[in-house]
Structure 1
Amino acid sequence: MFISNLRRRLNDISISKKLFFAIGFTALLVTIEICVLWSPALTELMLELVLAASLAIGLSIILIAISINKNLRKGLDAIAAGAERIKRGELRSRVEVYSKDEIGILATAFNDMADTLYKNIKDLKLTEKHLIREKERAEQSEKAKQHFLINMSHEIRTPMNAILGFARHLEESLNDKDQQESIKMIIKSGDHLLMTFNDILDFSRIGTGEINFMILPFNLNETIQSIFMLTEPNARFKKVGLTYSIDEDIPKILYGDSVRLTQILLNLTSNAIKFTERGGIVISAAKLKEDLNHVLVEFRIKDTGIGIPSEKIEKIFDVFEQGTNSMSRKFGGTGVGLSIVKQLVTLQGGKISVDSILGKGSEFYFSMPFSKQNLSENEKGIEENSRQNEDNRKDGKGIKVLIVEDNAINQLLVLKLLHKHGYDTTVAENGKIALHKYNRADFDIILMDLQMPEMDGYEATIQIRKIDSYKRFVPIVAMTAHTIKGEYEKCMSIGMNDYISKPFRAAELYEKIQFLVRTEQQI
């Protein structure tokens, strides 16, 4: 009973105190023994008392040593075992606390740490589940947005193809000057609407990083001249001047994305004309730097328009930002054009800035690097041959075309464009009818819409490419209002030969047909 109580009491004492008592008892025992040895006059009774005291002290020392050893071994083994269980993933495992000494305190701290770890991991798992749900929601939202953009692209571009196509077709046949001016205004309005729509699509693509740039040879003079030709009628209509100048030191042929450069310059020039009521606009291009492989070109668009308030200049390239609140009411626009321009310039390694004085005008300027290479002899030959064959591209005599299109208006447009130059045409309202007609007759090329009832253009193309005969090799051109990233790659992956987006220009259509038919005939 005494021993049991002593052990319990010892468990409640810290190891440091136990060691202090053990050292004290040992010193006391040694002192008693020294006294016995140096005191020969001790009586027998005193000797017995000293012996009893020595035994008690020695027993206490032994009990303290056993307690320290047991608590250390048992406590550390328990903590080690608990740590091993935690390591195996048994996060709810806890260590039994055997004493209130340092080992007990350590075991209690281990359990507290395990509780905290379990709670943190539980919270992390809940957070992870929440993040997964949010990610799934974001992905669903992105898919819904992409689906919406695809449908919007199709629903807007399909009628726009017919509107602009018929307007351009009608323009060629009109002789009356007033009627020609009216049809030109219809075309310009359609082009402006299409540019606004393209801005919205580009804004979405840039926001998701889904925009690529092409590195192809182009003539800078021709690019700027095309900007002038597109915008000059509007400037003339507003009775403001429009001129351009190009540094003669800039190489004739540059390598870069001429389509994106055109988009940037067209946006800035159109803006300058929009906000200029008197005076004029000047477009200029000058060489800043040049080395063996690259040339840095600076473009400037200067106007004498209404200008931008100083407090708005830093924000003018922000999304949905315009010079003043009244601008959107007076001049229109989505407010995303300049934001897209800045991002297109920046993504191509350039930098854009603006200087402006309210009431006197603005000057937007940006620099952009281009690669420069000399045309090889082969490229020169191709270029020369292309010029010589320009007049022959529209000649469709003897070429049989299968037009797969469900929209009646677009059917009529393509038929008119092709009949005008002697193409032999057949129409199919969907992919299923197209397969039936193609199996019964030979065609030199197929113009394939993608979104159709019964069977779409993708499935029809796949079925044609599976035909076990020469007929599977017919050139197929996707004619689609879809312009979302990846659409071209998807068309190419299922076996289509080319891609033309609506609204298209007649010259582009003729050129693709002639190139693919002639290539197939040479094979």
Structure 2
Amino acid sequence: MYFIISIIALLVVIALYTSGLSITTLSLLSLVLGTIGVVTVITISQSLIKDLNAITKGADLIRKGSFQSKVQVHSRDEIGTLAMAFNDMTNTLEQKIAELKLTEDNLIKERERAEHFEKAKKHFLVNMSHEIRTPMNAILGFARYLQESLTGKDEQESIRMIVKSGEHLLATLNDILDFSNIETGAVSFMRLPFNLRDTIATIYQLMESNAKLKKIGLSYSIDNSIPDSIIYGDSVRLTQILLSLTSNALKFTEFGHVSIAAKAVSNDEDDQIAIEFSVKDTGIGIPLEKQEKIFELFEQGTNHMTRKFGGTGIGLSIVKHLITLQQGEIYVRSILNEGSEFCFKLSFFKTNICDDDWDEHHKNELALKPDLESRKRIKVLIVEDNAINQLLVIKLLQKHGYETTVAENGKVALRKYTTADFDIILMDLQMPEMDGYETTIHIRDLKSYKKDVPIVAMTAHTIKGEMEKCLSIGMNDYISKPFHANELYEKITGLVKQVTPTLVQ
């Protein structure tokens, strides 16, 4: 710009010089033209600086996150073109950021909805578990109670069918809860010492009556490669897996035999042993094209099998997940119309406890069981809001000589606890007025003038973390509804023995 103005001024001076004007006139004209040129340059420079400052200010506003202000440049030169491009860029950025903000807001809302849904689902599962297990505890509890009282063959058979139907319904509920826990990653595993031979023998005993009903052979074998020592692992999950596989084998076998087997496939000299378990049957088998999908959710061999044999279709999927989460593996070998074999491998930690020591330990446990006269001295406070379950626990305990007192909620329990002495408290968790958690906290706060009475959570809640929560607030143990009477007796005996050894002889 400056260069062009200078050239024009020079050309004007040369033209005037050639026209014959005097030196004085030319000098004066040159001065005038020079002044005009300087003024023009200054004016143009100021305009240029103003425009550049406007663009710089606009860029600074964008840096600060403001897109509303636009660069006010009206010139048609390169600076004007730059300003227009800058404003277009600002508009585009504003639009894109608005779109991103909208997307972000939508994602936040979706996440909040998902979190709300997960909380609602968990709350629903907790309530469903409680609402089903509470009456189921009464159904199974009273049915088992009657089994010990009735002597007629027809009556015994009727009661047995009630128990079996209730246990089937409970197994279905457990499948649903396990499926939900696996889906949300809420499955935990314990590492406790257990006797593998006893565990498999127990599974055999639990399934033996089912096999006899169908007139199917059932057997189990434990290879000599498995040492006699006790191992560390989750015996509850192992039992769940083997029971599920054995139950399936019996369900899909009309004739022949079902066998359970275990053998060591690797035996680390230091601390671990890998064991392969198998459940083999002579049942209907699985079509080859279905074998890869059999562990998927809601998959059974064929639709005809689903209609004929029933089931939720999630049992094998749960089994696979439980094994996989323990770094194990499972596979199936099957021939249609000849039978199937499900095999899985799990690793366990070894211990230095031998079977003889374990047997002695259990003998000592059995020695804790009190006789009837000792039980008459054990005072039990039952904190339970459900009248039917109150009656069930009272009958079970009074039948074996325990002295019982009932409180229908936490407030009543606190009042009775402070006015009488008890040897143990059976505490429901979900109650009106005051729940089991709050009641336990209040009771533990009163221990300065009361002995530290054992508290057993007696609840229909089975969600992960429930037992840990109970123990963390001062409870001593946990029993899940529906429970077996013997399990309840053993927990009472063991805990009372720890606190008052002279009471249980």
- Confirm or deny that 1:197 pairs with 2:176: no
Decide which moves more: 353-362 or 436-445. Answer: 353-362
Query: Which consecutive residues of structure 1, in runs of 5 or more, have no partner in the other structure?
Result: 1-17
Distance 1:299 1:181 in 2: 34
Distance 2:41 2:490 in 1: 101
Contact 1:450/1:458 (CA < 8 Å) preserved in 2? yes
- Confirm or deny that 1:461 pairs with 2:440: yes
Pairwise CA distance, 1:466: 3.0
Pairwise CA distance, 1:356: 2.3
Partner of 1:277: 254
Q: 2:450 is paired with a residue of what secondary structure?
A: helix
Distance 2:44 2:328 in 1: 75
Distance 1:382 1:353 in 2: 33
2:467 to 488, 508, 513: 488
Query: Structure 1, residues 355-392: CA drift from partner, whole Å, max 9, x if none?
Result: 2222222222222222223239xx98686244234043
Contact 1:97/1:107 (CA < 8 Å) preserved in 2? yes
**AA paired with 1:265?**
L
**AA paired with 1:259?**
V
| Number of positions where the alignment pairs a residue of Structure 1 with one of Structure 2 | 497
Contact 1:446/1:474 (CA < 8 Å) preserved in 2? yes
- Confirm or deny that 1:267 pairs with 2:244: yes
**AA paired with 2:66?**
E
- Confirm or deny that 1:169 pairs with 2:145: yes
Pairwise CA distance, 1:459: 3.0
**AA paired with 1:452?**
M
Partner of 1:297: 275
Distance 1:404 1:164 in 2: 20
**AA paired with 2:128?**
M
Distance 2:35 2:288 in 1: 94
- Confirm or deny that 1:208 pairs with 2:184: yes
2:93 to 96, 102, 117: 117
Q: Describe the shift of the 1:337–1:389 C-alpha distance in structure 2 as closer, same or farther (beyond 3 A).
A: closer
Q: Describe the shift of the 1:520–1:117 C-alpha distance in structure 2 as closer, same or farther (beyond 3 A).
A: farther
Distance 2:29 2:366 in 1: 125
Distance 2:83 2:344 in 1: 68
Superposition pairs for residues 112-511 of structure 1, below 5 Å?
Answer: 112-174=88-150, 179-251=155-227, 252-291=229-268, 292-375=270-353, 384-395=360-371, 396-467=375-446, 469-471=448-450, 473-511=452-490
Pairwise CA distance, 1:47: 8.3
Contact 2:384/2:431 (CA < 8 Å) preserved in 1? yes
Runs of 4+ in 1 over 6 A off after TM superposition: 46-65, 379-383
Pairwise CA distance, 1:274: 0.7
**AA paired with 1:300?**
S
TM-score if structure 1 supplies the norm length?
A: 0.84
Q: Describe the shift of the 1:114–1:270 C-alpha distance in structure 2 as closer, same or farther (beyond 3 A).
A: same
Distance 1:427 1:255 in 2: 39
Pairwise CA distance, 1:65: 6.3
**AA paired with 1:277?**
E
**AA paired with 1:310?**
L
Task: Report sequence identity in percent.
Answer: 62
Over the aligned positions, Cα root-mean-square deviation in angstroms equals: 3.4
Distance 2:370 2:29 in 1: 125
Decide which moves more: 492-501 or 387-396. Answer: 387-396
Superposition pairs for residues 17-166 of structure 1, below 5 Å?
Answer: 18=1, 21=4, 25=7, 44-45=20-21, 69-70=45-46, 73-166=49-142
Distance 1:471 1:382 in 2: 36
Distance 1:243 1:151 in 2: 39
Q: Describe the shift of the 1:277–1:46 C-alpha distance in structure 2 as closer, same or farther (beyond 3 A).
A: farther
Distance 1:71 1:306 in 2: 93
Query: Structure 1, residues 325-367: CA drift from partner, whole Å, max 9, x if none?
Result: 1222111111111111111111111122222222222222222
**AA paired with 1:338?**
L
Q: Describe the shift of the 1:391–1:507 C-alpha distance in structure 2 as closer, same or farther (beyond 3 A).
A: farther
Query: Structure 1, residues 492-513: CA drift from partner, whole Å, max 9, x if none?
Result: 3332222111011222212221
Pairwise CA distance, 1:202: 0.8
Larger radius of gyration: 1
Decide which moves more: 179-188 or 482-491. Answer: 179-188
Q: Describe the shift of the 1:216–1:110 C-alpha distance in structure 2 as closer, same or farther (beyond 3 A).
A: farther
Contact 2:368/2:494 (CA < 8 Å) preserved in 1? no
Q: 1:504 is paired with a residue of what secondary structure?
A: coil
Q: Describe the shift of the 1:382–1:243 C-alpha distance in structure 2 as closer, same or farther (beyond 3 A).
A: closer
Contact 1:464/1:472 (CA < 8 Å) preserved in 2? no
Distance 1:255 1:346 in 2: 18
Pairwise CA distance, 1:262: 1.1
TM-score if structure 2 supplies the norm length?
A: 0.87
Q: Describe the shift of the 1:347–1:179 C-alpha distance in structure 2 as closer, same or farther (beyond 3 A).
A: same
Contact 2:129/2:460 (CA < 8 Å) preserved in 1? yes
Contact 1:29/1:58 (CA < 8 Å) preserved in 2? no
Distance 1:101 1:223 in 2: 91
Decide which moves more: 488-497 or 441-450. Answer: 488-497
Distance 1:65 1:484 in 2: 83
Q: 1:162 is paired with a residue of what secondary structure?
A: helix
Pairwise CA distance, 1:49: 11
Partner of 1:15: none
**AA paired with 1:307?**
G
Partner of 1:5: none
Distance 1:207 1:265 in 2: 21
Contact 1:215/1:255 (CA < 8 Å) preserved in 2? yes
Partner of 1:4: none
Pairwise CA distance, 1:135: 2.8
Partner of 1:11: none
Distance 2:199 2:79 in 1: 83
Q: Describe the shift of the 1:63–1:461 C-alpha distance in structure 2 as closer, same or farther (beyond 3 A).
A: same
Query: Which consecutive residues of structure 2, in runs of 5 or more, have no partner in the other structure?
Result: none
Q: Describe the shift of the 1:405–1:65 C-alpha distance in structure 2 as closer, same or farther (beyond 3 A).
A: same
Q: Describe the shift of the 1:124–1:510 C-alpha distance in structure 2 as closer, same or farther (beyond 3 A).
A: same
Query: Structure 1, residues 289-312: CA drift from partner, whole Å, max 9, x if none?
Result: 222222222222222222222332
Query: Structure 1, residues 53-77: CA drift from partner, whole Å, max 9, x if none?
Result: 9889978986896577556533432
Pairwise CA distance, 1:271: 0.9
Pairwise CA distance, 1:80: 2.2
Distance 2:315 2:330 in 1: 14
Contact 2:368/2:497 (CA < 8 Å) preserved in 1? no
